[in-house]
Structure 1
Amino acid sequence: TNLEIAFSPKDIVRAYQKRGTMENYIKEVKNGFRFDQMNSHSFQVNEAKMMLSLLAYNLTNWLRTLSFPAEQKNMQIETIRTRLIKVASKVVKSGRSLFFKLSSSFVYQKFFWKVLSRIQNLQIE
């Protein structure tokens, strides 16, 4: 690079590290929410899909930051979707109560209930 005339090598490395981090965020939203698949011929439809994908990405990041255990905070979006969102379940109504039933063979059941419990314990101010 010809930036070494104006900047020190440390400054150049710091600038590229920030860029690399942003590229990781872009890759995560592309893989997790199919951000790169804007397949409509209408600009407005593609714009709406992009905005909804960004909203879903930000909500998932918020969920991960606020309610994931420390050892799972670095999980990729696709993994989160597989383990928490794409879960076969059944909502059962009994009397006036609704129950959320997971399959007994669900592998990530302990993690699912742990995250749900942490969400329920969040203090909203």
Structure 2
Amino acid sequence: SSHFLENAVRMMVSLLSYNINNFMRTLAFPEKAKGLQIQSIRLRFFKIAGKLIHSGRRMMLKLSTHHVYQNEFFHILRQIQSLSW
């Protein structure tokens, strides 16, 4: 196929994404969220309304305060930040 290379690259990116998701789920997710499917994870933790604010030299991401899974989101964020290599 003339698109073999593009398909191979897409497959590699998908595989990397899948592995990062499983790695993150194992290390950072609370027990009740470890069994979620990728679509549920994307909906709960990545599709969050927010606004990027520029203030002086800093950029801040302000997230919606009405986010239903806000506590779980910040728990996972703290877990990821606490990982040290």
TM normalised by structure 1 equals 0.61
Q: How well do the aligned residues superpose, as a CA RMSD in angstroms?
A: 1.7
Among candidates 71, 79, 82, match of residue 121 of structure 1 = 82
- Which aligned pairs between 1:1-125 and structure 2 lie closer than 5 A? 42-124=3-85
Q: In the alignment, residue 45 of structure 1 is paired with which amino acid?
A: E
Identity in percent: 46
Question: In the alignment, residue 21 of structure 2 is paired with which amino acid?
Answer: T
- Give 1:42 deviation, angstroms: 1.0
Larger Rg over CA atoms: 1
SS state at 1:74 partner:
coil
State the distance in 2 between where 1:57 and 1:67 align: 15
The 2-side partners of 1:85 and 1:57 are apart by 15
Long gaps (5+) in structure 1: 1-39
Give how far 1:118 is off: 0.8
**Structure 1: how far apart are the matches of 2:45 and 2:12?**
22
